[in-house]
Amino acid sequence: MKNLILVLFAILFLPLSFPIASAAPAVAAPNISQLQGMVVIRGKTGFQHAYHGMQLKKGDEIRTGRSGRAYIDFPDNSRVKLGSRAHFVVQDWQQDDGVFSSALKIFQGAFRYTAKAIGNGLRKRNTIVTTRTAVLGVRGTDFWGRVKNDETFFLLIEGEVSLSSRFGQTTTYNHAGAAVQITATEISAPKELSTETIAPLAAETEITKNTL
């Protein structure tokens, strides 16, 4: 009995020699990297004016005014550009085992999504962009769109996406330079656009004067 007590005593008071699991590193938040004109954020505490470098929270809504523009940068080296009178929501994002996942939604307005080579120690991205009528599964790609009423105009600039209408089947879309109209039930045939047609569309989401 005496020996047992000594063994238990030794176990209780010996310093711990095994490693203690550390908490997973925090995932960097997306932020407003550039803006122009009226840009407001609606979060859990209400509305506030956006500002350069502002970090976003999950569920934040970004709204731009008549001459508003905003660039939103994400930890996976991707960017969303919003044109005027846009309504965009950062629904969720997370990082797990080198995979960055995010869920984004555009309710209204023009937008551009650009995914550059993934960085910051990440090895893969898994991003879903939804609109009123479409679901876009993002890979390494660059595309432009506009949501208006119950239709989404989608133009692929480079790469490919997993594309589907809200109630339709999913397809891989890789027609760079071609646009489609997406309703809740169907996707139109791709239509090739000229450089002269694409240029003014892209300009709708470009910032001409940075407001800090």
**In this structure, what token pair is assigned to residue 8?**
């238990």
Q: Got the DSSP string for 7-76?
A: HHHHHHHSPP-SPPPPPPPPPPPPEEEEEES-EEEEETTEEEE--TTPBP-TT-EEEE-TT-EEEEEETT
pLDDT per residue as tens digits for the range 50-104:
999 999 999 999 999 999 999 999 998 999 999 999 999 999 999 888 888 899 9
Does pLDDT of 110 surpass 80?
A: yes
What mean pLDDT comes out for the span 180-200? 95
- Single-letter code of the amino acid located at 196: E
- pTM (2 decimals)? 0.84
- Residue 130 to residues 46, 53, 105, 196, 211, Cα–Cα distance (Å): 24, 25, 5, 28, 28
User: What is the architecture of the domain spanning 30-203?
Assistant: Sandwich (2.60)
What's the number of CA atoms in the CB half-sphere (13 Å) around residue 128? Answer: 11
pLDDT digits (tens, 9 = 90+) for 131-180: 999 999 987 799 999 999 899 999 999 999 999 999 998 999 999 999 99
Three-state secondary structure call for residue 121: coil
Burial class, 33, CB count within 10 angstroms (exposed 0-12 / middle 13-18 / buried 19+):
middle
pLDDT digits (tens, 9 = 90+) for 2-48: 444 443 334 334 443 434 444 445 678 999 999 999 999 999 889 99
pLDDT band at 211 (very low <50, low <70, confident <90, very high): low
Q: How far is 104 from 73, CA to CA, in rounded Å?
A: 13
Nearest to 194 by CA among 177, 211, 174: 177
